Structure 1
Amino acid sequence: MTDAPLREVHRAVYRPVREGNALEDTVARLVQTIRLGVVGPGESLPSERELATMYGVSRDTVREAIRELADTGYLVRRRGRYGGTFVANPLPRPAAPGTVPVEELDDVLGLRRVLEAGAARAVAGRALAPEARAELWTRYEAASTASEGDYRRADTLLHLTIAELAGIPSLVALAAENRARVNAWLDTFPLLPRNIEHSNAQHEGIVKAILAGRADAAEAAILEHLAGSEALLRGFLA
């Protein structure tokens, strides 16, 4: 690779991330850096301070992102005079061979945004019965307290409950099919504990907006939430 294209790649992976999902976007950007070979196995990443400046995030966010990827075997942190953060050598083998075509990701994730944002808006615009409101809150609580092993299921049930409460029967089948494809991809890389914490906070915002009947806020909250997992999917798979 010549110097000019390399500079273009550096600009692509070391650019500011979005504020709403700073942790997920930073994790995804670091994974892209590794997958593209901008920093090879055994080589060191820029310092936390430099990464924070390039990504436009706090050093705490960079530190959390590095910790996530160190916990899953992508990065190694070393202390001392020659310390720093290094790309693992060898890198962990992916759970699924190859990559997902960008066109397929665009299709499935684009449909997900339409289905789930529309569902959240529709539910927020309805006068929900007390039992329906209780079910939605119960699903949120189940996801927020789920163990790591049961989190994906609890998260899925919350999202499908929102689709069901929209009152459009055919929407549930479409959302379930779409969610199954997304989950198959999510299962190819490890759950990130701090991403789960962030997702649960976003779930709370989504559910509260729905229960308050604030359709615009519910739609905006779920789109921000989906953008976080989308960043991870593109970082790990695309």
Structure 2
Amino acid sequence: MNHLSSQQDVSFLRIPSTGKAEEVVRRLIEAIDLGIFSEGGQLPSEAGLASQFGVATVTVREALSLLRAQGFVETRRGRKGGSFVTANFNIAHARLLQEFRRYSVFDLRDYGDERAAISGHAARLAAERATADDLDQIAKQIRIMEKAMDRSDQRRADMRFHVNVAMVSQSVRLTQAEMQLQSELGMFLWIDPLDAKALNAYVDRLKAIEDAIARGDGILSSALSTDLCKKNMERVIDARLRLETSDDAMGTGDSS
């Protein structure tokens, strides 16, 4: 069984079919926000990015041009040249907030319903098929989550936990669906970080799912995973409503 590793972090950003340059831009900004690509770090080659995102090289080239125009990357020539990240975490996060404003509460609730269905069924199958090594990997992601104090680390640890559970289900389609859902709107679940108390409660929920999987209780593991997805969506909808209230207070809300 292959488990999500640091080298595979970008794979959850994979774009279906041919994709568009604007979508590649969004996914790369998200990767910067997650810390997968850090400020000053060099991006993979155009061919490498095209392979990771599942798009044509020309699409990546156009996306990098847009990112340069927006100040997110710079391109250096020469033997040690390439594309390098210039935008910092705060800039990337501000861009994600702009993206967040595009989604209505209905959009977010619809996403949550789909994710609950995918994650719940994956957890049920994982309970039937998990090996001792699988359980060790799931427990490892929980330990990482326990130590994740900032928003990016919490989001990455949570993503790894759920993708690992999907991988343990031994369903390629469920794993791909979970990764695609993570890439589409998963970052909005972590617009705000969890404080210490909320993080402890969240970790307890992950441990409950792990325990149900370890005991082979598919019904319970599915119910717990589904409930967690619903709680997460309540949290993200609250964040969206707060953002809307803040925009209205400052007179920057959408008047259309």
Q: TM-score, normalised by structure 1?
A: 0.55
> Mean Cα displacement is larger for which, 219-228 or 139-148?
139-148
CA contact (8 A) 1:115 1:171 kept: yes
List per-residue Cα deviations over 1:56-88 (Å, max 9, x = no partner). xxxxxxxxxxxxxxxxxxxxxxxxxxxxxxxxx
Counterpart of 1:177, as a letter, is Q
Structure 1 residue aligned with 2:137: 135
Alignment of 1:47-58 (within 5 A): none
Q: Give 2:112's aligned residue.
A: 109
User: What SS does the aligned partner of 1:95 have?
Assistant: helix
Q: Does 1:154 align with 2:157?
A: yes
Aligned position for 2:201: 198
Q: Which residue of the partner structure matches residue 144 of structure 1?
A: 146
Shift of 1:236: 1.7
Q: Is the 8 A contact 2:141 2:161 kept in 1?
A: yes
- CA apart distance, 1:166: 0.4
Taking a change above 3 Å as real, the CA distance of residues 236 and 207 of structure 1, as seen in their structure-2 partners, is same
What is the one-letter code of the residue matched to 2:208?
G
1:165 aligns with 2:145: no
Q: Which residue of 1 aligns with 2:56?
A: none
Counterpart Cα distance in 2 of 1:193 and 1:141: 14
1:138 is displaced (CA, Å) by 1.6
Q: Does 1:124 align with 2:127?
A: yes
Question: What amino acid maps onto 1:203 in structure 2?
Answer: L
Q: How far off its partner does 1:133 sit?
A: 2.1
The 5 Å alignment of 1:1-238 reads: 95-96=97-98, 98=101, 100-126=103-129, 128-148=130-150, 149-238=152-241
* AA aligned opposite 2:216: G
CA contact (8 A) 1:125 1:215 kept: yes
Q: Per-residue deviation at 1:99? A: 5.5
Tell me which amino acid in the other structure corresponds to 1:95: L
Q: How many pairs align?
A: 145
Provide the alpha-carbon RMSD of the alignment: 2.2
Q: Distance in 2 between matches of 1:122 and 1:103?
A: 29
Cα deviation for residue 187 of structure 1 reads 4.0
For structure 2, which runs of at least 5 residues remain unmatched after alignment?
A: 1-93, 242-256
* 1:222 Cα deviation from its structure 2 partner: 1.2
CA distance in structure 2 between the partners assigned to 1:147 and 1:235 by the alignment: 21
Cα distance in 2 for partners of 1:190, 1:140 equals 16
Using CA pairs under 8 Å that are at least 6 residues apart, name the structure with larger relative contact order, 1 or 2.
Answer: 1
**Dislocated runs of 4+, deviation >4 Å:** none
TM-score (norm 2): 0.52
Q: What secondary structure does 2:97 align onto?
A: coil
